Chains A and B, each alone.
Chain A
Amino acid sequence: MSDFWILLTGVLVAACSGILGTFLVLRKMAMIGDAISHSVMPGIVIAFLLSGSRDSLLMMVAAMACGLFAVFLIQLFQNKGVQADASIGVVFTALFAIGVLLVSLFARQVHLDQDAILYGEIAYVHWNTWIVNGVDLGPKAVWLLGVTLIIIVTVISLFYKQFKLCSFDPALAAACGIPVALFHYLLMGLVSMATVSSFESVGAILVVGMLIIPAATAYLLTDRLSVMILLSVGVGILSVFGGYGAAVMLDASIAGCIVCAAAVLFALAFLFSPSHGIVAKKLRLRKLAA
C-alpha cells in the first residue's frame, strides 16, 4: 500500500508541475520557477512556527505570499535597472537564507529539518494520513496535491486562450486588451502553490526539476501547446515510476532518483526526438546533402 501512495503522490506532483512547467519553459522563465521554489521557504517556516502544524491552510497562504513577493521583488529590481538574472539571484538567495536560518534557529521547536527541505519525505507520505471521525481518508499530501491539481487544471482550462497568447506573444496579448500582468501573477501564484504542495514530498529544490525537465522534454517532441502539456505530464509520470523503481533498487533518495529519471528521459528526447532530436537533424542533413 505504501508504494501505491508514494507513486500517487509522485504522479500528482508530476501533473501539477508538468502543466505549469510548460508555460514557464515557453515564457523563458524557467529560472523564475527555481527562484519561487526557493523563496517559499521562509513562508513555510514562519507558518509552521505560528501554527505548529505542517498541513495548515496558513502554510499554503504564507508560502504563496512569499512566492508572489519574490516575483514582485524580482520585477521591481528589474525595473530599477538590475539585470534579470542577477535580480533573480539576489532575491531567491536572500529569501532562502532567511528560511534556512529560521529552521536552524528554531530547529528544536520545528519538526522540519534541513534534509526534509532538500529531499522531501515522499517515503513517509503514507504515515501522515487524514482521519475524519475515525475514518482513514488516505495521506494528507495526496489530498493537498489533489486539490492543487484541480485548481491548476480549472484555472488553466478556463483561461487557456489567454495563457497561450501571453506565452507566445505578450505584446499582441497586451494589444488585445488581455491583462498580461494579471496573468503573469496568476501563473506565478499557481507555481508557488504547486511548489508548496510538492515541497513536503519532493523537497524545495527538486521540485524545480519536475517543473522544468519534463516540460523541456515535451518541448522537444511537439509543436502544439496542448500536446506539449499532455506530454510534459506524461514524461513527469514516467520519471516518477522509473525514479521510484531505481530508488528502491539503489536504496537512495526517491526524489533525487525521480529527477535523475527525468533527466535521462530528457537526454533521450534530446538525442532521438523525431522532430527536434540531434540524430533526426543529422539524418535530415545527410538526406539533403545526398
Chain B
Amino acid sequence: MNTLWTLLQDPNMQWILISCTLLGLSSGIIGCFSYLRKQSLMGDTLAHAALPGICIAFMLTGTKSIMYFLIGAGLAGVAATFGIGWITRHSRIKHDAAMGIVLSSFFGLGIVLLTLVQHGGYGNQAGLDKFLFGQAASMVGSDVLTLSIVSLILVSVCYLLFKQFKLVSFDPGFAKGIGYPVAFFEQLLMLLMVVAVVVGIQAVGVILVASLIITPAVSARYWTDRLGVMVVVSGIFGALSGATGAIVSSTGDSLPTGPLTVLAATALFGVSLLFGTKRGIIVRRLVQQRMKRTLGFGYEEQAATASVDERINKEAAL
C-alpha cells in the first residue's frame, strides 16, 4: 500500500494514470453507441488495421510521434471501414467474413512492415512493438498531453451530439424520416470509434484495445435501460479499468498495461453479470421467483412449453 502511495506521488505516474483513465472513459462512452448499433467487433477490426498505418507513419517520418501515428492509424482505420463496406456491398460475402478478411490482411501487412522496419536501416525503432500489447509507462509527456486532449474532444463531441447519436443508434429509419443526415452521423460515429481505438493503442495495444470499446458497454447494459445512464456507467467502468491497468502495470516492470486493463474490465463485466440491477443474473432469478409465486401453478406449465420453444429456436440458431 505504501509503495502504491509513493508511486502515485510520482508526477510522471500521475500523468500516465490520468491519460489512461481518460482513454478508458472515452472508449467506454463511444463503445455504448457501437454496442447499440451492433458493431462491437468493428473496434477489433479497426485496431488490427491500425498496425500498418502506424508502421507506415513511422517509415515515412522516422519519428515515434504519437500525432503521426494517430494520423496513420486513423487513415488505415478509415481504409478498413471502406474495405469492409465495399466487400459486403459488391459481393455475397457476409459482414463477419469481410471483417475477418480485412482484419487479418491489414494485420498481416502490419506484421510484414514491422519486420521490415526491424530488419531495415531504421534507427530508433525500438519500442514500436510496444504497440502490440501496450505499455503505458513508455509514454512521454507530450504523448500524454495529446492523448488526453483527444480523449476530452471525444467525450465532448459525444456530449454535444448525444441526442443525435441516440436517435441514430436506436431508430435510423425515423431519424432519416425527420430529416437527420443519418449517413453523416453514422460516419462520424465510425470516425470517433477509429479515434478512440487509435488513442487506446498506446496504452492497451493493438490486439486488446477492442476490449475497451466492447466490455464496458456490455457491462453497463446490465445496470440500466436508459442510454444516458448507460453511457455514464460505461464511461466510469472504462475509466476504472484504465486506471487499474496503469497502476498495476507500474508495480512490476514486465507487466504490459493492455492485458491488465482488459482483465480489470472483464472483472467489472463479471460483477455486472451477477449483480447488475437491471439484467444481472441474481436480479433475474429474483424476478422469476416472484413471478412463480404470484402466478402460481400455471406459470410453470407455461414455462415448460416456453423452454421447449426456446430450445428449438436455439438449435435452429446454431
Give CA–CA (A33, B103) in the complex, Å: 12
> Quick one: given A212-B104, A213-B105, are A256 and B94 in contact (CB under 8 Å)?
no
CB of A208 within 8 Å of the partner chain: yes
Interface residues in A146-179 by Cβ distance below 8 A to B read 166, 170-171, 174
CB of A268 within 8 Å of the partner chain: no
Residue of B nearest to A215 (CB): B97
CB of B114 within 8 Å of the partner chain: yes
> Quick one: given A90-B214, A100-B133, are A205 and B256 in contact (CB under 8 Å)?
no
**Majority DSSP secondary structure for residues of B touching A:** helix
A208: chain B residues within 8 A (beta carbon): 100, 103-104
Q: Which of A97, A105, A171, A250 lies at the interface centre, i.e. has the most chain B CB atoms within 10 A of its CB?
A: A97
Q: How many residues of A contact B (CB 8 A)?
A: 69
Q: What does the 1/0 interface line of B125-137 toward A look like (CB < 8 Å)?
A: 0000100110000
Stretch at the interface among A54-62, A78-86, A132-140, A225-233: A78-86
Give CA–CA (A98, B217) in the complex, Å: 21
Q: What does the 1/0 interface line of A181-213 toward B look like (CB < 8 Å)?
A: 100100000000000000000000110110111
**Total contacts A to B, CB within 8 angstroms?**
223
Residue of B40, B262, B314 near A85 (CB, 8 A) is: B40
Residue of A nearest to B316 (CB): A171
> Quick one: given A118-B111, A219-B92, A256-B112, are A213 and B256 in contact (CB under 8 Å)?
no
Contact check, B269 vs A90: say whether CB atoms are below 8 A apart: yes
Contact check, A253 vs B107: say whether CB atoms are below 8 A apart: no
Contact check, A86 vs B40: say whether CB atoms are below 8 A apart: yes
Residue of B43, B111, B255 near A89 (CB, 8 A) is: B43
Residue of A nearest to B214 (CB): A89
Distance (whole angstroms) from the CB of A26 to the closest CB of chain B? 9
A247: chain B residues within 8 A (beta carbon): 112
B315: chain A residues within 8 A (beta carbon): 170, 174, 180-181
Contact check, A100 vs B258: say whether CB atoms are below 8 A apart: yes
CB of A270 within 8 Å of the partner chain: yes
Distance (whole angstroms) from the CB of A81 to the closest CB of chain B? 6
Contact check, A209 vs B92: say whether CB atoms are below 8 A apart: no
> Quick one: given A89-B215, A253-B114, are A212 and B263 in contact (CB under 8 Å)?
no
A34: chain B residues within 8 A (beta carbon): 44, 100, 103-104
A38: chain B residues within 8 A (beta carbon): 207
Residue of B87, B112, B207, B258 near A252 (CB, 8 A) is: B112
Contact check, A28 vs B97: say whether CB atoms are below 8 A apart: yes
CB of A237 within 8 Å of the partner chain: no
CB of A94 within 8 Å of the partner chain: yes
Contact check, B210 vs A93: say whether CB atoms are below 8 A apart: yes
> Quick one: given A86-B40, A205-B207, A260-B108, are A252 and B116 in contact (CB under 8 Å)?
yes
B1: chain A residues within 8 A (beta carbon): none
Interface residues in A114-137 by Cβ distance below 8 A to B read 114-115, 118-119
Interface residues in A273-290 by Cβ distance below 8 A to B read 276, 278, 281
A-B pairs with beta carbons under 8 Å apart, 13 shown: A25-B93, A83-B218, A90-B211, A90-B215, A93-B214, A96-B259, A119-B115, A166-B318, A205-B48, A212-B101, A251-B119, A256-B115, A260-B109
- Besides A31-B99, A94-B263, A170-B318, 9 more A-B contacts (Cβ < 8 Å) are A30-B97, A31-B41, A34-B44, A89-B40, A96-B207, A97-B258, A101-B255, A104-B133, A104-B254
